[in-house]
Amino acid sequence: MQDVMKNANKAGLFYGLAQAGRTLYISIVFYIGLELLVLEWGEEPKKVFIATYMLFFSYMSLGA
């Protein structure tokens, strides 16, 4: 029983790290999109958000 609990804790930890990594990756790309496309190149913020959101919505649905 102790071995099962240790393995379950490890699995939970790895799952949490994977979710955190995915969320951080998406956050970094949104930030880069803001900095590069909106502030540097003068693109419309709403269009940049919609384009990035569409990409990541499809990305997240593939993993589900």
- DSSP per residue, 9-58: HHHHHHHHHHHHHHHHHHHHHHHHIIIIIIIIT---HHHHHHHHHHHHHH
| Of 14 and 49, more confident | 14
CA distance 3 to 6: 5
CA distance 15 to 63: 13
Sketch the domain layout of the chain as residue ranges.
2-63
Q: What is the pTM assigned to this prediction? A: 0.62
Q: How confident is the model at residue 64 (pLDDT cuts 50, 70, 90)?
A: low
Task: Give long-range contacts, CB 8 A cutoff, 24+ apart: 25-33.
Answer: 26/56, 26/59, 26/60, 29/56
Please write the tens of the pLDDT for every residue from 24-61: 988 898 888 888 888 888 889 898 888 888 888 887 77
The pLDDT assigned to 63 comes to 64
